[in-house]
Each structure stands twice: as structure tokens, then as C-alpha cells.
Amino acid sequence: MAKYSKYRKLGRTSNQRKALLRNQVTMLLYHGKIRTTEAKAKEIRKLAEKLIALGVKERDNYDVVKVEAKVARKDKDGKRVKEVVDGKKVTVYDTVEKEVKKDRPSRLHARRQMLKELYPVKEVPAEGKGRKAGTKNIDLPQKLFDEYGPKYANRNGGYTRIIKVGQRKGDAALEVIIELV
């Protein structure tokens, strides 16, 4: 009797395989396309399609709420305005009304499901490599809701495409490019 499995083992232990697939799916959704082996691409496709489908389903499922926020007052150079109170320098704050998107319960659940599969992404500026000042955290679930949701709204699945490139030099593994359609 032959043994069948529902997924490819990729020659790794389960935690290594999960980490590899999470990383590759994260990079696919962040960059739009990646180059990998055919077996990995077919596994990545499964995860990516599910995440994009979640993004499409929950794209408009939020309420817009008005919130009052304290924002530091800034001068013409963009520096915070300080005021002396009781002999101490204190930043001056203004109260501003902002409109914020508040997730409904099902969208919040979808966001948490996505965060379970995706790694956090930090964007580092090209000119200032190694400097923390210019880095910013990318909210991939938000990108799935705001960019990919409307983009694939009228499409029933098939959000990724696999293009065969050829064999790799070192081990002759079939390389492919997996990209978002």
C-alpha cells in the first residue's frame, strides 16, 4: 500500500518547512514575485491563495470611527514646540480629530489568521543601510486588504502564476518564478 501525503515534505523537518514556507509567502506578498524551486512554489501557492482570498473577502469589512488624538505641536522646522512649566521643558500637545478604520470582528479574525502565516517585514532605506532611523514596519495584512483585495475582487481564485525558468546549475532542480497575476 502506497503512502500519500497532503503536502510536500521538501526534505525538511516540520518546523523548518513551516518557517521556509512562511518566509517565502511573506516575500511573495511583499515583492510580488520570487524565484524558487517548483516543489516549493506549488506549496507556496496554496498558502498565498488562501491569504489573498481572505484579503478579498474582508476588504470592505470595517467601520470608520472618529477619534480625538493628542498630537505634538511642531514649528516650521518640524521640531516639537517646548514650553516651560514649573521649571521643566514640556512638549505642547494639540487635540486633533482623526478618522480611523476599525475592523469588524470577522476582519480582525482574518487579520490574525494572516499574521499567523506571515513574518513581520521591515523596510530599510537603500542609502542608509545599517541605520535604524529610516526603517519602517510594513503592515502586510493591511496591504492584503487595501491593495490586493480590490485588485482581485472580481476574480475567483488563481491569484498566482508559476513560470518555469529552467534547471539550476548546482543540483539541476527545476527553477520557477512564482508571481502574483
CATH number of 14-60+105-180: 3.90.1030.10
* pLDDT mean across residues, the chain: 92
Strands 136-138 and 160-167: unpaired
Does residue 159 contact residue 45 with C-beta atoms inside 8 Å?
Answer: no
Q: pLDDT tens digits, residue range 76-110? A: 888 888 888 888 888 888 999 999 999 999 999 99
pLDDT digits (tens, 9 = 90+) for 48-84: 999 999 999 999 999 999 999 998 888 888 888 888 8
Instruction: Name the pTM for this structure.
Output: 0.84
Question: Distance between CA 141 and CA 52 in Å, rounded?
Answer: 9
**Domains of the chain by residue range:** 14-60+105-180, 62-103
Nearest partner of 27 among 8, 10, 7, 47, judged by Cα: 47
